[in-house]
Structure 1
Amino acid sequence: MRLVRAVHDALNATAVPRTPDPALLPPRVDGSRRLPAPGRVDGTLAEALEARRSSYSLGAGQPALADLATLLHLGVGTAPRAGGLPSVVPYVVARGPGELAPGVHRADLRHPVPNLAVLRAGDPTPYVAAALDQPPFATRAPIWLALVVDVERTLRRYPPRHYRTLHLDAGAALQNLLLVATALGLPACPVMGYDDRAWSELLVLPEGELLAVLVALGRR
């Protein structure tokens, strides 16, 4: 884990340096939120592949919780993973009006109905803006989905080389997520311009988890 962390931290040095004020962080809390049962999506895979586009117009409000539950379950929960391990963990950063209270949530996809553990409560927008390479993007997205790789859990079975495979797992989950979002009519845009350390603080990541990619998400 120490080797993987050193590599990850070294690569983060190539990003635009960001040092958000810790005072901007929403306060820590300990709670949970049950999501609705995931639904189904209409259309064919070919239609979703043809229609998928990154969108910068994400709307002012959050997607419906039912859509978010479906997106997490089908978009991330069904993605292939090396060894079948739960290597990709989705986090949800919510802001703006909607059914989900503003703050930071960790999704648990081990059950048929996704559950959210509430980690921070409060508007994350100022901190998010300070942690992005493009700060104005922070106010465009009512929901940020963070795909995090669980390095420590997977290194119990595989050697450090598996750090590379974890990014393939995250890429498969990202593709699934974008296609399901397209089928649901949800605008989405992958984002890679961010500071890893800043987002690790926001998401309250344990030492063994690393952020792989962000997705800005809107509503139908």
Structure 2
Amino acid sequence: MDELVAAVHAALNATAVPRRPDEALLPARAPVVSRPLPVPPPPTADLGRVLARRRSAYAFGGAPDLRHLAALLHHGVGSAPRAGALPSLAAYVVTRGLDGLPGGVHLADLRPPAPGLVRVRSGDPTAYVADALDQPPFAARVPLWVALVADLEVVARRYPPRHYRTLHVDAGAALQNLLLVATALDLPVCPVMGYDDRAWARLLDLGEHSLVTVLVAVGGPPDRPG
């Protein structure tokens, strides 16, 4: 990571209350296993109604299914614009387990025509996540997290350190897309910024050039049991 950007990022993080989860709570690193997700259904809801309905949720009920997850990743994150059309943003899925997907940490492959997942860690992350959040009770209520991660090394090859700011614009565009797609699919979601950067970087097994820009808590539709 560029030294200037690293210094700015570290200074900003120093203003937050640190969270230091016990590393014994980390799910174990897993052998790399790739798996495709189902073909994502296109959102068909009226855009005006979706914009009017979009709200942050604090009750998450059951878990989304794999088709919902595929739609969030493909139509939400994957379709978002990025400066220079660079692959500067990655999405990680953190879950205690869904139907057809074991608990752990998974890196999303956003290439078309349909997204896939690459396993990073295996096991229930709930206890670690609770200690890495400013509001620990979120961890037990949220069945799935999407973490949007910026890769500074990718953009540093083309742009100066000022692009650190543009990366957050890219992340904001992806976040808004994801929230609107979730609303169209009737999934409760909530953006979360109260987390410890270093703790989440360990959970996602990130390199020094990557940083978490935002977390999104995701639940299932109201007709799915908890």
Tell me which interval the TM-score lies in, with the shorter structure as reference length.
over 0.9
Identical amino acids, percent of aligned pairs:
65
Counterpart in 1 of 2:214? Answer: 213
Q: Which residue of 2 aligns with 1:116?
A: 117
Does residue 31 (structure 1) correspond to residue 33 (structure 2)? The answer is: yes
User: 2: CA distance between counterparts of 1:47 and 1:100?
Assistant: 32
Any conservation in 2 of the 1:58–1:188 contact (CA below 8 Å)? yes
Which residue in the other structure is 1:57 paired with?
Answer: 59
**1:68 lines up with 2:69 in the alignment:** yes
Instruction: Give 4+ residue runs of structure 1 displaced > 2 Å after superposition.
Output: 96-99
Counterparts of 1:1-150 in structure 2 under 5 Å? Answer: 1-29=2-30, 30-59=32-61, 61-150=62-151
The CA deviation string for residues 61-89 of structure 1, in whole angstroms up to 9 with x for no partner, is 32010010011001011111101111111
Alpha-carbon separation, structure 1, partners of 2:153 and 2:74: 23
Quote the offset at 1:9 in angstroms.
1.7
Residue deviations 1:105-159 (CA, integer Å, cap 9, x gap): 0001123111111000000000000000011111111000000011110111000
Paired with 1:126 and 1:69, the residues of 2 have a C-alpha distance of 26
Deviation at 1:22, TM superposition (A): 0.5
The CA distance in 2 between the partners of 1:116 and 1:144, in whole Å, is 14
TM-score (normalised: structure 2): 0.94
Structure 2 residue runs without a partner (length 5+): 222-226
Report the AA paired with residue 29 of structure 2.
R
Q: How far off its partner does 1:98 sit?
A: 3.0
Q: Normalising by the residue count of structure 1, what TM-score does the alignment of the two structures yield? A: 0.97
Unaligned ranges ≥5, structure 1: none
**Stretch of structure 1 that moved more, 6-15 or 43-52:** 6-15
Distance 2:208 2:38 in 1: 31
Deviation (angstroms), 1:4: 1.2
Give the 3-state SS of the residue equivalent to 2:142 in structure 1: coil
Does the 8 Å contact 1:91/1:105 carry over to 2? yes
User: Tell me, what secondary structure is at the counterpart of 1:102?
Assistant: strand
2:192–2:217 CA contact under 8 A, matched in 1 = yes
Deviation at 1:97, TM superposition (A): 4.8
Whole-Å separation in 2 of the counterparts to 1:97 and 1:147:
20
Counterpart of 2:74 in structure 1: which amino acid? H
Match of 1:187 in 2: 188
Contact 1:75 1:178 in 2 (8 A): yes
